[in-house]
Amino acid sequence: MQPLPTPAPPAPSTALLLADLRARISLLHRAPLHTAQNILPFGIPALDTHLPNGGLARAALHEIEGGGADATYAAAATGFAAGIFARLGAPVIWCTRHDDIYPPGLALAGLLPQRLLHMRVGSDAAILLVMEESLRHTGVGAVVGEIAQLSTTASRRLSLAAETSGVMAWVLRRPCYAGSWPTAAASGLNARTATTHWRITPHPSPVTDLGAHAVGRARWQVNLLRARNAAPATWILDACDATGCLALPALLANRSPAQTARNAA
Amino acid sequence: MVYAANPAARAQGLHQGMAVSTAQARSPGISLHPATPDDDRAALHRLAQWCARTLCPLVAPAPPDGLLLDITGTDHLFGGEPAMLAHIASRFASAGIHLRAAIAPTVGAAHALARFAALNFICVSPAGLADALAPLPVAALRLPAASLDILAQLGFAHIGPLGQTARAPLARRLGAALLTRLDQAYGRIAEPINPLPDIAAPLVHKNFADPVLAPAAIAHALHALLAQLLALLTAQGLGATALTLTCTRSDATSQILPIGISSATTSTTHLSRLLRACITNIAPEPGIDRITLHAATQVLVRPASPSLLAPDTHTHTDLADLIDIVANRVKNAKIFRTLPTASDIPERAARNASPLARITTTWPPNLPRPTRLLSPPHPIDVLAALPDQPPAQFIWCRQRHRIIRADGPERIFGEWWINACETHAVRDYFQVEDQTGQRFWLFRRGDGTNHQTGDLSWYLHGFFA
């Protein structure tokens, strides 16, 4: 004789169910729960709705590289990262072996010199060491390292350190000094554990009110190459303003963003 | 009551113990200050510490106004006793301290000679001790006032006759104390001094019964040593600014490991982390007999409670321990902040400063500046109409960049007050965007009309975000 079926509990709303599932999955991953406190939104709905949890996870490893002709010096990627750090509001450790970073340019994106501490070392291995030590320090907002190539082990270690302390970890990929990216075999080592992987390529900027040949706000092609729990995507965005915020370009060059928003609404 | 009088006042007949009204009546123009015995004692203590660091290690303050230095074995460092006395005299004179000093074989004699000898500075050998003491008044013997009164009634004015008198009657009239003081002055009985604790070098060590090899055992010993050292430091209100770890091995060799610290600290967690990181560098073979931990110190100025600190200083002090860890673990790591500097020359506007530097300024927000700067700037081939037009195209690394948009020039003049060659130098900077949207910072040497200002060569100086 079969037992009587128990009455099913009242179905919770889908949102609650999803939130509960997410919490359980992150427990399985031993990853920190991505609540509103440890998410940094871009403030652009198109990006924030695309990314899981509505923004960039703080306690995670992110990867970024320059695209196109800017791959070598990654100036646009540097500006993109500086804008994110500017909005973090905490000290930033910048680990590098090159000496071409120029803080006055970072300050224009909102990353002021009093929040920036440079650590210059002689090798990629030393950068990884310095990054890991810095990531353990809870007083830090973000740690960024400029590295040519990143093995899976190294990126896993950085991820774990970031998840433990809640400090944002960034790897800025810079090609080797030879001026080229690592060989195909070596790039097979490239990280697969980063939460997001971005490529920032300069994009021709629109004609401004100032004249046909005047330089206005820069424009980037932002590629999300890979993200955990999100599909790859591409956006064309206006570069960081003085507070580190990106913006969606106005649909037409002659219209102000406010007008565009009105039209969209 | 007059507590102390300087030489000028004494020349007018003023002396210690005189009533203030009498002193003012005698010399109306004198300046009076309230006595501060506690401050005097503290100042004497500081002076003793200075002597212990610079003259000889065993120094005892002798309040209210004396210092006792045991110079045994240190006078040869200054070239003998008279030379040392001269050195001390000149150092005190340059500090503006009025000094009388004596070097003598016994504490009692030195005390007496320094205070009652005819000369300000006197150096007495053991052979001349009796002759030097004989003419001094009996007050020089450090006796209570009652004993001095009795001696005066008995007609003893000087030490010489007192030393030649039969001892037993004296002892009966004045007690054994007089004889003790006499014997101490003549060196017939020993008189140890009570020196200040050694303030220069807090040092702890541990000896092992058997040579130690295992890292765990070394870590355990270091932990215990650190606790001892920190107890020493906190008792004196000091913070460690550097640690030196010395491992003496059983083959009589030793390994010295310096550990740098960016700002004085007594934090157990921070220092033990630095020591733990250092263990991997210890080469224990063939076994460590003795571990010594020595701290260079500094008076701890920083308040221990972080709640008292302003938020911006908080981040600085927070990062100090991270800076130490990185500096000690990674050889040749350069850790710095960028200090905004008032200069138009891009290379000079950002100067590297100490990682603990307090930075409050930033660069002007209205000037375009790149995120990556090439140093030195790369020479490029440019097609441009002189003198006013921005470049139309340029070739860099065999790549042709057609310029679609350009802003400029931003004219930057040489700083002749730094470098005379820059007196007439001019750079015209252009912010340009090529056909792909990449943005460059180009400059031309010279203003395009006057050849003195530059040779019209073009350079690529940076990349904009």
**Per-window interface: B 353-382 vs A, CB < 8 A:** 355, 358-360, 362-363, 365, 368-375
pLDDT grade for B311, boundaries at 50, 70 and 90: very low
Residue A209 near chain B (CB below 8 Å): no
Look up the pTM and report it: 0.66
Report the pLDDT value the prediction gives residue B443, as an integer from 0 to 100: 93
Query: What interface predicted TM-score (ipTM) does this complex get?
Result: 0.83
- Answer positive or negative: Cα dihedral of B4, B10, B12, B18: positive
Chain mean pLDDT for chain B = 86
Min Cα distance B307 → chain A (Å) is 15
Q: Are B462 and B372 in contact (CB under 8 A)?
A: yes
Dihedral through CA B54, CA B60, CA B64, CA B66, nearest 10? Answer: -60
Taking CB atoms and an 8 Å cutoff, what residues of chain B touch A144?
none
Report the pLDDT value the prediction gives residue B312, as an integer from 0 to 100: 44
The 10 Å Cβ neighbour count of residue B158 is 14
The pLDDT tens digits of the residues spanning A236-255 come to 999 999 998 998 887 544 44
Phi/psi-derived region of residue B34, left when phi > 0, alpha when psi is between -120 and 50, beta in every other case: beta
Q: Which of B426, B424, B427, B408 is nearest to B416 (CA)?
A: B424
Q: Which of B295, B193, B186 is nearest to B235 (CA)?
A: B295
Q: Are A216 and A210 in contact (CB under 8 A)?
A: yes
Residue of chain B whose alpha carbon sits nearest to that of A80: B465
Taking CB atoms and an 8 Å cutoff, what residues of chain B touch A101?
371-373
Q: Are B337 and A105 an interchain contact pair (Cβ–Cβ within 8 Å)? A: no
Min Cα distance B228 → chain A (Å) is 27
pLDDT grade for A144, boundaries at 50, 70 and 90: very high
d(CA B375, CA B462): 9
pLDDT grade for A4, boundaries at 50, 70 and 90: low
Nearest beta carbon to residue A69 from set B339, B432, B436: B436
d(CA B368, CA B410): 9
Lowest mean pLDDT among B174-183, B194-203, B338-347, B387-396: B194-203
Residue B399 near chain A (CB below 8 Å): yes
DSSP state, residue B337: E
Nearest beta carbon to residue A130 from set B326, B390, B431: B326
What is the average per-residue pLDDT within B200-209? 83
Report the pLDDT value the prediction gives residue A36, as an integer from 0 to 100: 62
Residue B336 near chain A (CB below 8 Å): yes
Residue A39 near chain B (CB below 8 Å): no
Taking CB atoms and an 8 Å cutoff, what residues of chain B touch A115?
315
Taking CB atoms and an 8 Å cutoff, what residues of chain B touch A139?
315, 318-319, 322
- Does residue A183 or residue A143 have the better pLDDT? A143
Taking CB atoms and an 8 Å cutoff, what residues of chain B touch A112?
362
